[in-house]
A and B are shown apart, each in its own frame.
Chain A
Amino acid sequence: MQGNEGMMKHKGMNGIWRRAAISGATLSMVALAIAVIPSGAGASGLTAPTAGMKPQTSIGKGEGKLNLIAWEGYAQPQWVKPFEKATGCMVNALYAGSSGEMVSKMANGGGGQYDLVSASGDADLRLIYGGDVKPVNMKLIPSWGEFRPFLKSPGFNTINNVHYGVSLQFGPNVLLYSTKTFKTAPTSWSILYSKKYAGQLTVPNNPIQIADAALYLETAKPSLGITDPYELTQTQFNATVKLLQQQKPLIKAYWNLASQEINLFQSKTVVAGAAWPYQTNTLKGDGVAIADTIPKEGATGWADTWMLAKNAPDPNCAYKWMAWVSTPKVQAEQAISFGETPANSLACPIMNKLQAGSCAGYHANQPDSYFKTIKFWKTPLSTCDNGKNDCVPYSEWTNAWTQITG
């Protein structure tokens, strides 16, 4: 029922959109924006508007083209060129700089233009409940069977056994530190909140960073009763924001790009920070005295998913792409190229063949239990797992983050 409603709304939107396209460049901007009004509902009820849409059962002839919204580096010629050659689907990738940009592009008119989006866990639920993406038939993705069990049907992209995309790559947010300052690996995230290192710390400029502080408080302040860093009650949220406000004077810079953090460590401006394994590997390659660790509190992490746009104009090419990027070879290529861990468990030996030691470098050889310590990004919703409706939603996370860093 809900799904049908979603489809009908969508048809209406398509009509307006097409008319707008005819009426000239400037006007189309207005119409494009107006066109999304009808599909605005649906999120508050928290039922995926597209849940009822039946995914296709076979992959037909390719449409000859494929439009992607992707993280930069997710559509490299290394695996795009062979794909184009094999399938005849010419890939056109638009790079997005953040999860917010991805959701915004998909929500406001992009749904009918783009086929797939390589969304991270903090965007997935917003895309699903916003009705921007639709169910995917995993039977059409042969390599899916080879995926690590915890990435086959993870909660951030699978709801009630309905898959809204194919897991791709993941990685932990690690604690990066200077081995000159820390002779032994720090065992706790507490150093990022310690006055001892004032002015020598860096963390990402991202609202989801609130979860990192919440994860630390889960152990540091058990009285708060935090069990999931993405599901915070108002009291827990306020305590976390307070911690981040106290942290602010200690922070040298909030980094936006990986290269900025690399620069901060290279110049020895900072001695510790929250980072991705990519920074660790790049800095090690440059001979900088650093190392990374996952402290005792565990870590947050990202896991990306190729999600299928509800209005995907090229569904066959989209399925061909999802199948292609899931194969061990492409998984290994992307893992090394970007510096993350592949979802496909068979990618490890190929990684080592491409770059010796890279499998262990990106923890791809670790058992699933290792990744249990990682709390993967997911969109904070007002509905908690406990069934109550008292969690702080994502919009308040972004507001709080602006107030903290502004």
Chain B
Amino acid sequence: MTTSVDSETKRGGLRALHASALARSRWRTAFLLSPPLMWFLVIYLSSLILMLVTSFWSVNDFTQQIDHHLTGANFAQITSGAYVTIIWRTFLLAALVTLTDAIVAFPFAYVMARVATQRTQRILLGAVLLPLWASYLAKVYAWISILEKGGALNWTFSKLGLPDPNLGFTNGAMWIAFCYIWLPYMIVPIYGSLERIPSSLLDASADLGGSAWSTFRRVILPLALPGLIAGSIFTFSLTLGDYVTPLLIGGSNSTLIGNAIYENLLTGGNLPLAAALSTVPIVIMIVYLAIAKRLGAFEAL
């Protein structure tokens, strides 16, 4: 009897202690989280909301003063004519770059994670990450000097007796430059997910008579998929938002969404139309991230 009362009070005391500790830690968590949360709400979210509101305004064609009456005209404009072409072009290019990078990055990441010795692995990882230290612009200009007329590629082809590819200032040049620049962002997450696969699973697959191909298809690929999707988020979204590469290495048919935004914002002075265009990549990315989340990509980040 007494013991039970004792234990009751003891338990109650513990519970009270636990509750107060929990409350204190809640306060501490709230305190610690509030600055980043405030930053997120005030600076990040509010500017996004402002942008969304702006996209329903219009601009005086002549004086470029902003007219604050709400209108859907900007959205009508970006869903017709040249803007549709631009949006499609950007989407397809981003998809193509992502696919190419996935195909190039997977075998590379596989060798890094599962074949190479620890020493080679470190060297390879360094080689992948090293270009990230170089300026983006330097890399684009390097590609210009490779692809342009009189560049390294044409020179090599002519030495081999082949016709000039003349890739400089075309959409093909843009594709190559994007694939190169974003490649590390694809390799690293795939490498991470491949490295985490326990060797025992591969052994088990082999013990059960699985061929190399079926091990790859039924064990490795499903386990590496989150990494692959995480990488694709980077390559896809980075291509979707870029405007410098098309500006420098693109041709007369290389306008992307980013360029259209840049032109409307800076040369056209049409902030509302630029804001409306900015919602396009956001919508595309929301859909993309929703799919990626369902496929478990965020566990590999």
Q: With A267-B151, A406-B85 as known contacts, state yes or no: A130 contacts B63, CB within 8 Å.
A: yes
The contact string, 1 if C-beta is below 8 Å from chain B, for chain A 250-283, is 0111101000100110011100000000000000
The contact string, 1 if C-beta is below 8 Å from chain B, for chain A 28-48, is 011001101101101110000
**Chain A: interface secondary structure?**
helix
8 Å CB contact of A126 from B46, B62, B67: B62
Q: Are A269 and B63 in contact (CB under 8 A)?
A: no
* B263 interface residue (CB < 8 Å to A): yes
Q: Which residues of A contact B150 (CB under 8 A)?
A: 267-268
9-residue interface stretch from A67-75, A103-111, A154-162, A215-223: A103-111
Q: With A253-B250, A406-B86, A406-B260 as known contacts, state yes or no: A269 contacts B148, CB within 8 Å.
A: yes
Q: Which residues of B contact A130 (CB under 8 A)?
A: 60, 62-65
The contact string, 1 if C-beta is below 8 Å from chain B, for chain A 120-155, is 000000100111100000000000000000000000
Q: With A97-B267, A108-B66, A253-B251 as known contacts, state yes or no: A403 contacts B82, CB within 8 Å.
A: yes
Q: In the assembled complex, how far is the CB of residue A296 from the closest CB belonging to chain B, in whole angstroms?
A: 26
- Complex Cα distance A132/B60, Å? 14
* B169 interface residue (CB < 8 Å to A): yes
9-residue interface stretch from A55-63, A186-194, A393-401: A393-401
Q: With A26-B42, A130-B64, A263-B144 as known contacts, state yes or no: A100 contacts B266, CB within 8 Å.
A: yes
User: Which residue of chain A has its CB nearest to the CB of B145?
Assistant: A267
Q: Are B268 and A100 in contact (CB under 8 A)?
A: yes
* B5 interface residue (CB < 8 Å to A): no
Q: Which residues of B contact A26 (CB under 8 A)?
A: 42-43, 46-47, 50
Q: Are B63 and A43 in contact (CB under 8 A)?
A: yes
The contact string, 1 if C-beta is below 8 Å from chain A, for chain B 36-78, is 0000001100110010001000001111111110000000000
Q: Which residues of A contact B148 (CB under 8 A)?
A: 263, 267, 269
* B252 interface residue (CB < 8 Å to A): yes
* B123 interface residue (CB < 8 Å to A): no
Q: Are A253 and B255 in contact (CB under 8 A)?
A: no
Q: Which residues of A contact B280 (CB under 8 A)?
A: none
Q: Are B252 and A126 in contact (CB under 8 A)?
A: no
Q: Which residues of B contact A398 (CB under 8 A)?
A: 268, 270
Q: Which residues of B contact A253 (CB under 8 A)?
A: 169, 250-252, 254
User: Which residue of chain B has its CB nearest to the CB of A264?
Assistant: B169
* B168 interface residue (CB < 8 Å to A): yes
Q: Which residues of B contact A39 (CB under 8 A)?
A: 65
8 Å CB contact of B83 from A37, A99, A108, A406: A406
Q: Are B66 and A129 in contact (CB under 8 A)?
A: no
- Complex Cα distance A104/B60, Å? 10
Q: Are A103 and B63 in contact (CB under 8 A)?
A: yes
* A98 interface residue (CB < 8 Å to B): yes
Q: With A29-B50, A100-B269 as known contacts, state yes or no: A251 contacts B252, CB within 8 Å.
A: yes
Q: Are A107 and B64 in contact (CB under 8 A)?
A: yes
Q: Which residues of A contact B255 (CB under 8 A)?
A: 405-406
**29 pairs, A vs B, C-beta closer than 8 Å:** A33-B54, A33-B66, A40-B65, A42-B63, A43-B62, A99-B267, A100-B64, A100-B267, A101-B267, A126-B62, A126-B64, A130-B60, A131-B63, A206-B267, A249-B252, A251-B252, A252-B251, A253-B254, A264-B169, A267-B168, A381-B62, A395-B61, A396-B61, A402-B82, A402-B83, A405-B252, A405-B255, A406-B82, A406-B255
B contact set with A: CB distance below 8 Å: 42-43, 46-47, 50, 54, 60-68, 81-83, 85-86, 144, 148-151, 168-169, 247-248, 250-252, 254-255, 260, 263, 266-271
A contact set with B: CB distance below 8 Å: 26, 29-30, 33-34, 36-37, 39-40, 42-44, 97-101, 103-104, 107-108, 126, 129-132, 205-206, 248-249, 251-254, 256, 260, 263-264, 267-269, 379, 381, 393-396, 398, 402-406
